[in-house]
């Protein structure tokens, strides 16, 4: 890493941008986390987390000498929520992102992250082909297209490293067609279309909220009559009710 930094300084006159993009994915997702041994765990953490931290440690002083810079970590939509060892390494990288943003901000160095979705990269297509059941299920829950080519990430990257993103640090931009929401299904039929009563499954909860609201309003009314204009102060400090501004 030191040699890389020295070469970049010679070639470009300094370092303003660092993009931590290297990661293991295919190599660490073939087993569930519960079956991951220490050797595999150490390898995944070494590349996906320590690799980014190590590069930031070496590059940050070069950026500070120039008055600041921008560090971008590639996390993953698969980290929200993490459901594999790969996702665990990426949510850890997000934690490193916010921590480095806090530590380096006073040096003018911004640290953000991009959360790519299912890109049409070689690794992505080999792990999740377009005809796989996982991809078809995910596509049904995505507002716009599920997959795109890696260059679809460039817009977010340019925003984060340019002056247009000068007020952003410690953030993650999910570029995934909305897949990270995982809640976009076909619109449910209305009760009249289902032929059933116009009462949703959440109706009891709404009634509960209504009853609680009535009780709260009742208590507030009692408090105002008993303790003056501030029922909260009246309940906690009856002797002060009506005397505090």
Task: Find the catalytic residue in 85, 86, 179, 227.
Answer: 86
142: left (phi over 0), alpha (psi -120 to 50) or beta: beta
Longest CA span, the chain: 77
86 is annotated as an active-site residue: yes
**φ, ψ for residue 74 (rounded to 5)?**
-90, 105
8 A C-beta contact, residue 137 and residue 88: no
3-state secondary structure 24-79: CCHHHCCCCHHHCCHHHHHHHHHHHHHHHHHHHHHHHHHHHHCCCEEEEEECCCCE
What pairs with residue 73 in β-bridges?
A: 20, 113
The span from the CA of 98 to the CA of 158, in Å, is 19
Point out the residues that are catalytic.
86
């Amino acid at each position: 890493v030191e040699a890389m930094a020295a070469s970049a300084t010679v070639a470009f006159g300094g370092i303003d941008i660092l993009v931590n993009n290297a990661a293991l994915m295919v190599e660490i997702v073939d087993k569930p986390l519960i079956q991951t041994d220490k050797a595999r765990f150490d390898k995944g953490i070494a590349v996906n987390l320590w690799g980014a931290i190590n590069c930031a440690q070496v590059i940050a002083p070069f950026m500070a000498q120039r008055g600041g810079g921008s560090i971008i970590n590639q996390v993953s939509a698969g980290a929200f929520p993490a459901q594999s060892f790969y996702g665990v390494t990426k949510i850890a990288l997000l934690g490193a992102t916010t921590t480095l943003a806090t530590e380096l901000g006073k040096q003018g160095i911004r640290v953000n992250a991009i959360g790519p979705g299912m890109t049409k990269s070689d690794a992505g297509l080999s792990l999740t082909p377009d005809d796989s059941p996982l991809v078809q299920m995910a596509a049904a829950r995505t507002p716009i297209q599920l997959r795109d080519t890696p260059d679809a990430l460039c817009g977010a990257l340019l925003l984060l490293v340019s002056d247009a993103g000068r007020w952003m640090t410690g953030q993650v931009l999910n570029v995934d067609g909305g897949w990270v929401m995982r809640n976009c299904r076909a619109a449910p039929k209305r009760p009249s279309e289902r032929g059933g009563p116009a009462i949703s499954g959440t109706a009891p909860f709404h009634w509960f909220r209504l009853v609680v609201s009535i009780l709260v309003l009742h208590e507030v009314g009692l408090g105002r009559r008993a303790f003056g204009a501030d029922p909260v102060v009246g309940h906690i400090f009856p002797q002060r009710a009506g005397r505090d501004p």
